[in-house]
Amino acid sequence: MSRSDVHPIHVFEPWQVWPGSYDNPPVTGTFPLPPYLGPKITGTTTIASMGSCFAREIKTALIREGYSYIMEETEHPASKHASAAWERLYNTFSIRQIFDYTFEEFNPQIRWWISPETHVVQDPYRRIILYRSLEEAQADFEHHIKCSHRALNTAEILIITLGLTEIWRDRFDGSVICLPSGPYVNEGGDMSRYEFQISRYEENLANLERIHDLLLRNNPHCHIILTVSPVHLWATFRRDCDVISASSNSKSTLRAVADEFTARHDNVTYFPAFEMAGIFRPMMGKSIFAEGRENFHVNQETVDFIMKHFFESYVAD
């Protein structure tokens, strides 16, 4: 137990007080987690994951440790980051659109981009997925929907990693593209209908509620483990603040959304990967950032630290 020296005297569990404060134990190599964070995972628990770049790290660790990780469309490069060829999903809008087209309908006015020069077909809603023709694109997408449905329908645990709040929204139908990138953009495709915006607390929470509703109706026994990615923005499209402030705003907004969403639902828990990387590891005197060109990512030592605690928290004895 830990104690305060103020009146009246309170008695706290060790994980309730700031490490090293007053006479309390200092920072150790173990993050001070509460004893229960959610469901227990066994070797046969089916697990799916999706989300930002950090979702790929979670997938890699789960497969390496021999857990029953769901893998659909393994021949597709976009499945590298998740349980199906969803690619990286940086915002809650992109994640919600996955659930919309998997379980109901998603019919944006512009479904495919055709590159002006090379005529390559590009999916605007998944990160730079390219096809040689519309026929190939439509056939692959129909197959993808079936695989996506199978992955989300069979998952007993779904891990969702939240990334950022910056989006590009279609002015006419409200759909959100993944990123203004790829051959369509590079070859001068018309981007006038898309508007850069900072998504806010209410709409991100509404997206998670929509995701929860669709999952509950189609796979009511699935438990969601929510995280905020510790990977920061490489660049911001904002003109009113610097990239570090923009990244902090994204993470802070999504952390607040995750807290409210978790409090609303018994089948949702939050795992503090962001806090482990961004606060606790520096308290230990450890660097968290990768070296080289992608130094906005977390380094492997930090990934290992986070996943060690994930397994200790969720894996059955």
Q: State the Cα–Cα distance between residues 283 and 144, nearest whole angstrom.
A: 43
Q: State the Cα–Cα distance between residues 74 and 39, nearest whole angstrom.
A: 27
Evaluate the CA torsion angle 60, 162, 101, 188 in order and state its sign. Answer: negative
Q: pLDDT confidence of 12, banded at 50, 70, 90?
A: confident
Q: Which fold has domain 38-314?
A: Rossmann fold (3.40.50)
What percentage of the chain has pLDDT greater than the value 70? Answer: 97
Evaluate the CA torsion angle 139, 169, 240, 248 in order and state its sign. Answer: negative
Res. 4: pLDDT tops 80: no
Please name the amino acid found at residue 250: S
What percentage of the chain has pLDDT greater than the value 90? Answer: 88
Tell me the domain boundaries of the chain: 1-24+32-37, 38-314
Strand 223-228, strand 268-270: pairing: parallel
Overall residue count recorded for the chain in this entry: 317
Structure-model confidence comparison of residues 176 and 2, the more confident one: 176
Q: pLDDT confidence of 8, banded at 50, 70, 90?
A: low
Which of the residue ranges 8-12, 211-215, 291-295 would you say has the lowest mean pLDDT? 8-12
Res. 268: pLDDT tops 80: yes
pLDDT at 37: 72
pLDDT at 3: 60
How would you classify residue 188: left for phi > 0, otherwise alpha for psi between -120 and 50, otherwise beta? left
pLDDT at 14: 87
104 burial level (CB within 10 Å; 0-12, 13-18, 19+)? exposed
Res. 7: pLDDT tops 60: no
- Computed over every residue of the chain, the mean pLDDT equals 94
Measured between its terminal Cα atoms, the distance across the chain in Å is 25
Listed in order, strand segments (DSSP E) in the chain are 2-3, 11-12, 46-51, 68-69, 113-114, 121-123, 129-131, 157-162, 166-170, 176-177, 194-198, 223-228, 268-270
Q: pLDDT confidence of 35, banded at 50, 70, 90?
A: confident
Q: What tens digit of pLDDT does each residue of 226-238 get?
A: 999 999 999 999 9
Q: What is the pTM of this model?
A: 0.94
Q: pLDDT confidence of 24, banded at 50, 70, 90?
A: confident
Structure tokens at 297: 């990512």
